[in-house]
Amino acid sequence: MGTIIKCCGCGALVKDIPGKPHRYIGAAAGCREVYCEILAKEYGEFRYPEPTHRFTVDTYAVQHPGEPSGQAIQSVNAHLVSLHLVVEKGFNGARATEAFKDILKNGDKLTWLEPPNPNGSMTVVDVVKAQNLQEHRRLVDEWARDVWTAWRNHHALIRRLAEQCLK
């Protein structure tokens, strides 16, 4: 099976595989491999389920915030706003994506948000085990809510950002 390592972003135990690091997402190559398996299921077998797919992308991004940089700061802030809008406001994926784009327009005004430790108790390793669409939706929903809760210290700021982009 090979060597197992702990992902530097989410803490999941994943295969230690070689791979070029993502520009700003802080994840082990083995973790990105599992994430890509989930995306392949969503795009192919599950036919792009919304808002489940929005949850998958947002949750993975905020669980792998990387190091402070312009792109990482924009990514974490925008994905947290999107999670807030879907988890707390009941927005659909398309509406959350529009808000996401609005946040990025003001990316230079965003600040680094110190990630929680731990950054949630669920990871892609839990989600990839789903055997069907119903189970996948349930696991992604639990994962998203778990990671959103982990970022509770930044909820007030994220709610303000969301309000600003919805005006």
For residue 1, is pLDDT > 70?
no
What is the residue-wise DSSP string for 19-46?
A: -PPPSS----HHHHHHHHHHHHIIIIIT
Segment 88-96 mean pLDDT: 86
What tokens were used for 25?
């997402």
Segment 57-74 mean pLDDT: 95
How confident is residue 12, by pLDDT bands cut at 50, 70 and 90? very high
Average model confidence (pLDDT) across the chain: 91
Segment 96-105 mean pLDDT: 82
> Could you give the percent of the chain with pLDDT greater than 90?
73
- Is the omega angle on the peptide bond into residue 51 within 30 degrees of 0, that is, cis? yes
Residue 5 dihedral angles phi and psi, to the nearest 5°: -130, 170
pLDDT at 149: 97
Here the contacts of 95-99 (C-beta below 8 Å, separation 24 or greater) are 96/51, 96/54, 96/58, 97/54, 99/162, 99/165, 99/166
